């Protein structure tokens, strides 16, 4: 894989270089986690970078005095539902892109590109007006619908890339045995692409869980806010209470990290294949 | 008695024709694509058309206004806010694309070598990309918030005077760009690394046989092989940067004095701040046109080659 004749010394100097780069690059995140165990007074008066006298005060404050858990629950609901809907829809569309040719499929591929570059603000203005008359402002449904569409290009390209790796001969065999085309998809292709669909699902979940802009427009009521919107509220209300803010941010990334570890080996799949194949 | 069989026959023939359509094989791709097409019509096509119409009228979020022709667009062209947002969007996109491409490529080249624990680094260097925007902004804000924040303590230790990163216009622009680069480079690194690993080894062996130095191998073997993917990646990144709301909004809310307000923030402020749907739609429509023009030009040039 790599350049053939690399000496041990060179390998380890590269290693230490990368350790340094990784630390510098992740410094904001590392400091945030460390600072979440310091009270705001400690943070302000502290002179060294490293923390001392660790405390859980911020976490206790989040638990007792704020609606953090409510925000987290809202985030999970919105992300969970939009993950299921977008994965299901993208699996169907991805299969069409993988197995069929024709004007419809080509046109659809182009439409996906338009969705990919669409400035979402342009959709938000008319949809805000429409959703207001439908009573969908402050409803998780509004956000779920938008997330499902926003994920569509990425999820579809990824699904297509997975289906491309499954040999057509398997379906042909099923067709010979009297299975319908759709039956072959459901009985043969889908079960084989389990890991792929799981990866698509986790991706969609991460996107929804991290998303701020759409949620910020539609979710104005505390009881429906997702975490990113909820935290901006903390930011405005207690702009100088860095301790609690850091604790909230740290708790927010815990699910992100866990899910990310689950998909990290799949990550290049959709990211690159979608862009290149089109 | 005479009516019923005829009706049954009609439904039967409707069913039969549906069945034959399905059996012909044309139906399945359509049915597979139907749910996503419906959603795209509702969430992309409908707003695009309505937004286009809104751009030619006055009106608020609560009640529609009257048709004013090109008035909104003419007002925008004379508005310093709009021209500034256009300029900042451009600046933001150019600096971010260059910054995250250079950084991503450098790291990808480094990671493409035989390094112990490469898998670990590949994951650890992706963190800035996967943390939620709000989390990255909270962590960066703390480091640059005021004169007592970390960066200013470091500057102070070297005897410099404090820099007001978020209240000085030029520093705020720099801060937004740096944070955006930090959030974007992992995607570049990951995609370029995958592309690097796909380059045929025999090309390097041939180059080495001909006595090409490492630099010349990079210049004449690696870079030409990365050309196509680089164009696609930079195009995608440009689109994402122009459409970015989170970074400037969460860091500075477009301030100080609108210095870091891009087109999306401006459209948001006109619509949801000033309650002027016409102006907001016009700005976002212009954004779409700019992006579409960019994509069309780039794809056409690529096809010509």
CATH, residue A240 = 1.10.3720.10
User: Does residue A215 share a domain with residue A103?
Assistant: yes
User: Does residue A88 share a domain with residue A43?
Assistant: no
Q: Which of residues 76-95 of B touch A (CB under 8 A)?
A: none
User: Does residue A129 share a domain with residue A89?
Assistant: yes
Q: How far is A269 from chain B (nearest CA, A)?
A: 9
User: Does residue B266 share a domain with residue B202?
Assistant: yes
Res B79: pLDDT = 92
User: Does residue B162 share a domain with residue B20?
Assistant: no
Binning pLDDT at 50, 70 and 90, where does residue B194 land?
Answer: confident
Report the percent of chain B where pLDDT is more than 90: 42
Chain A touched by B271 (CB under 8 Å): yes
When CB atoms are compared, the residue of B28, B30, B125 closest to A25 is B125
Nearest residue to B64 (alpha-carbon basis) of A216, A215, A133 = A133
Res B113: pLDDT = 86
User: Does residue B234 share a domain with residue B163?
Assistant: yes
* Length of chain B (residues): 305
| A276 with B37: Cβ contact below 8 A | no
Q: Which residues of A touch B127 (CB under 8 A)?
A: 25-26, 29
Res B73: pLDDT = 93
User: Does residue B293 share a domain with residue B228?
Assistant: yes
Alpha helix segments (H runs only) across chain A: 8-25, 27-35, 40-45, 57-65, 68-99, 103-117, 120-134, 140-164, 168-176, 181-184, 190-192, 194-210, 213-218, 227-237, 242-263, 267-277
| B40 with A206: Cβ contact below 8 A | no
Q: Which residues of B touch A220 (CB under 8 A)?
A: none
Give Cβ neighbours of residue A85 (< 8 Å, ≥ 6 apart).
A144, A148
Do A84 and A177 touch, CB atoms closer than 8 A? Answer: no
| Boundaries of domain holding B32 | 3-54
Res B305: pLDDT = 65
| B281 with A25: Cβ contact below 8 A | no
B41 pLDDT more than 70: yes
Res B289: pLDDT = 92
Q: What is the pLDDT of residues B229-286, one digit of tens each?
A: 898 889 989 999 999 999 999 999 887 889 999 999 999 999 999 999 999 999 999 9
Res B213: pLDDT = 86
CA dihedral in degrees (A26, B139, A200, B244; nearest 10)? -110
| A246 with B136: Cβ contact below 8 A | no
* Chain B residue whose CA is closest to A270: B191
When CB atoms are compared, the residue of B36, B123, B284 closest to A152 is B36
User: Does residue A257 share a domain with residue A201?
Assistant: yes
A239 pLDDT more than 70: no
User: Does residue B127 share a domain with residue B39?
Assistant: no
User: Does residue A105 share a domain with residue A50?
Assistant: no
Do B199 and B220 touch, CB atoms closer than 8 A? Answer: no
Q: Which of B22, B24, B31, B43 to mutate to test the interface with A (most CBs of A within 10 A)?
A: B43
Least confident window among B60-64, B112-116, B288-292: B60-64
CATH number of residue B120's parent domain = 1.10.3720.10
B216 prior amide bond cis, ω within 30: no
Res A273: pLDDT = 45
Q: How far is A24 from chain B (nearest CA, A)?
A: 10
Q: Is residue B233 one of the residues assigned to a domain?
A: yes
* Chain B residue whose CA is closest to A17: B110
Report the percent of chain B where pLDDT is more than 70: 92
User: Does residue B234 share a domain with residue B86?
Assistant: yes
| A126 with B35: Cβ contact below 8 A | no
Res B137: pLDDT = 92
B182 pLDDT more than 90: yes
CB pairs under 8 A between A and B: 260
Helix (H) or strand (E) holding B197, with range, is helix B169-197
Helix (H) or strand (E) holding B58, with range, is strand B57-59
Q: Is residue A1 one of the residues assigned to a domain?
A: no
User: Does residue A72 share a domain with residue A54?
Assistant: no
| A108 with B37: Cβ contact below 8 A | yes
Q: Is residue A219 one of the residues assigned to a domain?
A: yes
Q: Which residues of A touch B60 (CB under 8 A)?
A: none
Chain A touched by B125 (CB under 8 Å): yes
Q: How far is A276 from chain B (nearest CA, A)?
A: 7
| Dihedral sign of CA atoms A4, A9, A10, A12 in order | positive
| A212 with B250: Cβ contact below 8 A | yes
Instruction: Give the integer Cα–Cα distance in Å for A47 and A70.
Output: 36
Least confident window among A156-170, A216-230, B97-111: A156-170
Mean pLDDT of B7-16: 58
B203 pLDDT more than 80: yes
User: Does residue B237 share a domain with residue B136?
Assistant: yes
User: Does residue A75 share a domain with residue A51?
Assistant: no
In DSSP terms, B46 is beta-bridged to: none
User: Does residue A98 share a domain with residue A37?
Assistant: no
B101 pLDDT more than 90: yes
Give Cβ neighbours of residue A162 (< 8 Å, ≥ 6 apart).
A94, A193, A196, A197, A200, A269
A274 pLDDT more than 60: no
User: Does residue A225 share a domain with residue A95?
Assistant: yes
Chain A touched by B50 (CB under 8 Å): yes
Q: What is the pLDDT of residues A86-136, one digit of tens each?
A: 999 999 999 999 888 888 888 888 888 888 888 899 999 999 999 999 999
Binning pLDDT at 50, 70 and 90, where does residue A188 land?
Answer: confident
Binning pLDDT at 50, 70 and 90, where does residue A272 land?
Answer: very low
Q: Which of residues 12-31 of B touch A (CB under 8 A)?
A: 25, 28-31
| A96 with B288: Cβ contact below 8 A | no
Q: What is the pLDDT of residues B282-296, one digit of tens each?
A: 999 999 999 999 988
Res B228: pLDDT = 85
User: Does residue A158 share a domain with residue A53?
Assistant: no
Instruction: Give the integer Cα–Cα distance in Å for A245 and B135.
Output: 9
Binning pLDDT at 50, 70 and 90, where does residue B2 land?
Answer: very low
User: Does residue B38 share a domain with residue B119?
Assistant: no
Res A267: pLDDT = 64
Instruction: Give the integer Cα–Cα distance in Å for A227 and B122.
Output: 28
| B243 with A117: Cβ contact below 8 A | yes
Average pLDDT over all residues of chain B:
87
Res B288: pLDDT = 92
User: Does residue A214 share a domain with residue A102?
Assistant: yes
A214 pLDDT more than 90: yes
Q: Is residue B188 one of the residues assigned to a domain?
A: yes
Mean pLDDT of B179-203: 90
| Boundaries of domain holding A47 | 8-58
- Token pair for residue B154? 């470091």
Q: Which residues of A touch B122 (CB under 8 A)?
A: 264
| A28 with B140: Cβ contact below 8 A | yes
A278 pLDDT more than 60: no
Q: How many domains does chain A have?
A: 2
Average pLDDT over all residues of chain A:
85
Nearest residue to B298 (alpha-carbon basis) of A92, A123, A113 = A113
A66 pLDDT more than 70: yes
Q: How many domains does chain B have?
A: 2
Q: Is residue B65 one of the residues assigned to a domain?
A: no
């Amino acid at each position: 894989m790599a350049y053939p004749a690399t000496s041990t010394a060179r390998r380890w100097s590269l290693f230490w270089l990368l350790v340094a780069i990784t630390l510098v690059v992740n410094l904001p995140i590392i400091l945030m986690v460390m600072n979440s165990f310091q009270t705001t007074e400690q943070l302000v008066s502290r002179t060294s970078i490293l923390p001392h006298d660790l405390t859980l005060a911020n976490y206790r404050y989040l638990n007792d005095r704020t609606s953090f858990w409510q925000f987290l629950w809202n985030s999970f609901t919105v992300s969970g539902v939009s993950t299921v809907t977008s994965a299901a829809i993208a699996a169907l569309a991805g299969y069409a892109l993988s197995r069929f040719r024709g004007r419809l499929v080509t046109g659809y591929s182009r439409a996906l590109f338009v969705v990919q570059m669409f400035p979402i603000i342009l959709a938000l203005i008319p949809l805000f007006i429409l959703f207001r008359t439908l009573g969908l402002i402050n409803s998780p449904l509004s956000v779920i619908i938008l997330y499902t569409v926003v994920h569509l290009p990425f999820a579809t390209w990824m699904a297509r890339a997975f289906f491309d790796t499954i040999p057509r001969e398997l379906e042909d065999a099923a067709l010979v045995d009297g299975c319908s085309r759709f039956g072959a998809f459901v009985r043969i292709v889908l079960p084989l692409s389990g890991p792929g669909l799981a990866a698509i699902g986790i991706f969609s979940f991460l996107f929804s869980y991290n998303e701020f802009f759409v949620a910020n427009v539609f979710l104005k009521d505390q009881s429906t806010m997702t975490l990113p919107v909820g935290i901006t509220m903390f930011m405005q209300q207690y702009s100088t209470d860095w301790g609690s803010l850091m604790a909230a941010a740290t708790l927010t990334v815990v699910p992100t990290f866990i899910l990310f570890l689950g998909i990290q080996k799949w990550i290049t799949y959709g990211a690159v294949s979608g862009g290149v194949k089109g | 008695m005479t009516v019923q069989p005829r009706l049954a026959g009609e439904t039967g023939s409707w069913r039969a024709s549906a069945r034959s359509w399905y059996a012909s094989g044309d139906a399945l791709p359509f049915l597979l694509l139907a749910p996503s097409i419906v959603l795209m019509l509702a969430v992309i096509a409908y707003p695009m058309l309505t937004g286009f119409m809104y751009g030619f009228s006055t009106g608020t979020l609560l009640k529609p206004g009257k048709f004013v022709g090109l008035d909104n667009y003419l007002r925008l062209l004379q508005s310093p806010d709009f021209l500034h947002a256009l300029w900042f969007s451009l600046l933001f996109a150019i600096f971010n694309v260059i910054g995250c491409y250079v950084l991503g490529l450098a790291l990808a080249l480094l990671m493409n070598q035989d390094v112990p624990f490469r898998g670990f680094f590949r994951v650890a260097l992706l963190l800035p990309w996967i943390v939620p925007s709000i989390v990255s902004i909270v962590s960066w804000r703390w480091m640059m918030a005021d004169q007592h924040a970390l960066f200013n303590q470091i500057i102070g230790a070297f005897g410099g005077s404090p820099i007001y990163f978020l209240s000085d216009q030029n520093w705020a622009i720099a801060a937004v760009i740096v944070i955006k680069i930090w959030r974007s480079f992992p995607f570049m690194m990951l995609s370029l690394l995958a592309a690097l690993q796909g380059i045929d080894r025999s090309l390097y062996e041939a180059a080495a046989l001909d006595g090409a130095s490492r630099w010349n191998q990079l210049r004449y073997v690696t870079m030409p092989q990365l050309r196509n993917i680089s164009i696609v990646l930079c195009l995608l990144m440009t689109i994402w940067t122009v459409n970015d709301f989170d970074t400037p909004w969460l860091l500075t809310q477009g301030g100080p004095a609108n210095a870091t307000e891009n087109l999306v923030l401006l459209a948001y402020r006109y619509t949801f701040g000033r309650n002027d749907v016409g102006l907001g739609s016009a700005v976002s429509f212009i954004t779409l046109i700019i992006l579409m023009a960019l994509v069309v030009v780039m794809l056409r040039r690529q096809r010509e080659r």
